[in-house]
Amino acid sequence: MHVLISGGGIGGLTAALAFQKLGHRVTVLEQAHVFEEIGAGLQISPNGMRVFEALGVTARVEKDAFRPRSQELRFGKGGGRILTIPLREASYARWGGEYLHVHRADLAGALAGALRDRQAGAVQLGHRVVSYSQDDAQVSAHLDTGETISGDLLVGADGIHSAIRSQMTGPDTPRYTGHVAWRAVVPVSELGEHAPPESACVWVGSRRHAVTYRLRRGSLANLVAVVETRKAPAESWTATGERAQALRDFRRWSPVVRTILEKAVTLNRWALYDRMPLETWSDGRVVLLGDACHPMLPFLAQGAVMAIEDAYVLARLVTRKETLGAALSAYEAVRKPRTSRVQAGARRNASLFHRGDPISQLATYGPIWLAGHLLPALAHGQYDWIYAHDVTEMPDTAA
């Protein structure tokens, strides 16, 4: 088959590698003219890394990544540690794969490089798909330049503002969650004694939380700091905000968080919106994956990884099933329960991280602290259902 993929993000590039590995020809249509630094950090948990292992790109992905020592839960004010879950060797032992932090631009570059090595000309930059048309024989992607490119299958991996989804299901009405996220990346060398720990660290507090971790082999500090805000800003990944506002949002918080806010050259301010589940993910020869069909709040760090899982499962089912219709139906049936559960878990964490009064904090974090000290195996196993999931080994009916 000739598979067209709208969107050269993490999900789209992974899908291209998976389809190419299984013998198909792929064309990735990406609207950007270059892969830029936009997007900052990603956490790639073992369930995503096993897909990269199956696709033979692990070495490329690991090259500029950082291996955190642990996951941590701490108080934003004071920095007291609530829970620590070991990673590095423990991650492979428990979940069968690495847990990595990687810059989005580095990951996209690694995947695109692998794809170009395997199929010259597969990635077409500066190509924005605005609509599609199809018949029984083929599907055509229509670009903003007026050009049309045709193939056997069109994969909509074009993100939360997907043009493919809009045509397939109609325009959506996103719901503002009441949360705004500050994002920043700062060289660790500029942070001195207030550099973040070598962990995936969640700092919790009243109506707000922050996440810190390191990128590029430990040379960069990544921050995502979320605060509850009544007024809904525009939904934009690249919007910026005022440093004074960010510092007011996290006043009296740990100097680890505040120093990153003070030193950042750019502070992006990202309003978090949620969307209702889609009734269908496909239309004839067109199918969606990743944020285009199940956008995730970032509170489980699984948005990119769910797209990676989607990509592998979709390519495998399209290759194995007798008809394209059967493959796309199976893909939706298999992936919807999994992604819906992760979406729900991310929504729950928004509340878990934002406990305000001391009684609520004691009731919530006290049992977590006790479990970490008295029943560490139980505490460390709370995300087994996510991280131990292996779509590369599971039967097609359960992936």
What is the chain's length? 399
Q: Which tens digit of pLDDT belongs to each residue from 132-146?
A: 999 999 999 999 999
DSSP letters for 95-134: HSS--EEEEHHHHHHHHHHHHHHHSTT-EEET--EEEEEE
Among 99, 132, 213, 312, which one carries the catalytic annotation?
Answer: 213
Smallest Cα–Cα separation from 300: which of 250, 344, 355? 344
The pLDDT of residue 171 is: 86
75: helix, coil or strand?
strand
Nearest 5 degrees, angle CA 362-CA 43-CA 118?
A: 165
Q: Please, what is the angle between helix 46-55 and helix 10-21, to 10°?
A: 40
Please spell the DSSP secondary structure of 145-205, one letter per residue: TS-EEEESEEEE---TT-HHHHHHH----PEEEEEEEEEEEEEGGGTGGGPPPSEEEEEEE
187-214 CB burial, b ≥16 within 10 A, e <16: ebeebeebbbbbbbbbbbbeebbbbbbb
Model confidence at 399: pLDDT above 80: no
In the structure encoding, which two tokens stand for residue 214, read together? 């390191």
Structure tokens at 222: 């990544």
Q: Are strands 268-274 and 175-187 parallel, antiparallel or unpaired?
A: antiparallel
Per-residue pLDDT at 232: 81
Strand order in the sheet with 282-283: 123-125, 25-30, 2-6, 153-156, 286-288, 282-283
C-alpha–C-alpha distance, residues 128 and 139, integer Å = 16
Name the burial class of residue 262, with classes exposed (0-12), middle (13-18) and buried (19+) by CB atoms within 10 angstroms of its CB. middle
| 358 pLDDT more than 80 | no
- The secondary structure of residue 240, as a DSSP letter, is B
Q: Name the one residue in this structure whose structure tokens are 């994956």.
A: 289
On the question of pLDDT at 379 being above 80, the answer is: no
Higher-scoring residue by pLDDT: 381, 112:
112
Average pLDDT over the chain, rounded to whole? 93
- Reported as a single tens digit per residue, the pLDDT across 55-91 is 999 999 999 999 999 999 999 999 999 999 999 989 9
Kindly write down the DSSP assignment for every residue of 307-344, as one continuous string.
HHHHHHHHHHHHHHSSSHHHHHHHHHHHHHHHHHHHHH
pTM of the model: 0.95
167 confidence band (pLDDT: 50, 70, 90): very high
More confident residue, 175 or 250: 250
Higher pLDDT, 257 or 396: 257
Q: What is the pLDDT of residue 239?
A: 83
pLDDT, tens digit, 9 for 90 and up, residues 27-49: 999 998 877 656 689 999 999 99
* Exposure on the CB side of residue 55, measured as CA atoms within 13 A: 31
Q: Residue 272 has which token pair?
A: 């978090």
As a whole number, mean pLDDT of residues 254-269 equals: 96
**Long-range contacts (CB closer than 8 Å, 24 or more residues apart) made by 383-386:** 383/45, 384/94, 384/95, 385/341, 386/45, 386/47, 386/300, 386/302, 386/342, 386/345
User: Does residue 213 carry a catalytic annotation?
Assistant: yes
d(CA 339, CA 120): 33
Please compute the mean of the pLDDT values over residues 235-245 and round it to a whole number: 85
**Predicted pLDDT at 37:** 59
> How large is the average pLDDT for residues 271-282?
90
123-138 per-residue burial string, b: 16 or more CB within 10 A, e: under 16: beeebbbbebebeeee
Mean pLDDT of 162-179: 92
Mean pLDDT of 142-166: 96
Rounded to whole angstroms, the Cα distance separating 12 from 111 reads 10
What are the angstrom distances between the C-alpha of 91 and each of 19, 68, 380?
A: 28, 10, 10
- Reported as type and span, the H/E element at residue 246 is helix 243-249
pLDDT on residue 275: 84
Indicate if the pLDDT at residue 236 is higher than 80.
no
Question: Residue 162: which of 134, 141, 137 has the closest Cα?
Answer: 141
- Residues 314 and 334: their CA atoms lie apart, in Å, by 10
Residue 394: pLDDT band (50, 70, 90) is confident
* Residue % of the chain over a pLDDT of 90: 80
pLDDT at 66: 98
Q: Using alpha carbons only, what angle is made at residue 104 by residues 49 and 94, rounded to the nearest 5 degrees?
A: 25
Q: Stretch 175-203: mean pLDDT, rounded?
A: 95
The Cα 359–Cα 3 span in angstroms is 55
At 39 the pLDDT is 63
Q: Among 297, 102, 346, which residue's Cα sits nearest to residue 200?
A: 102
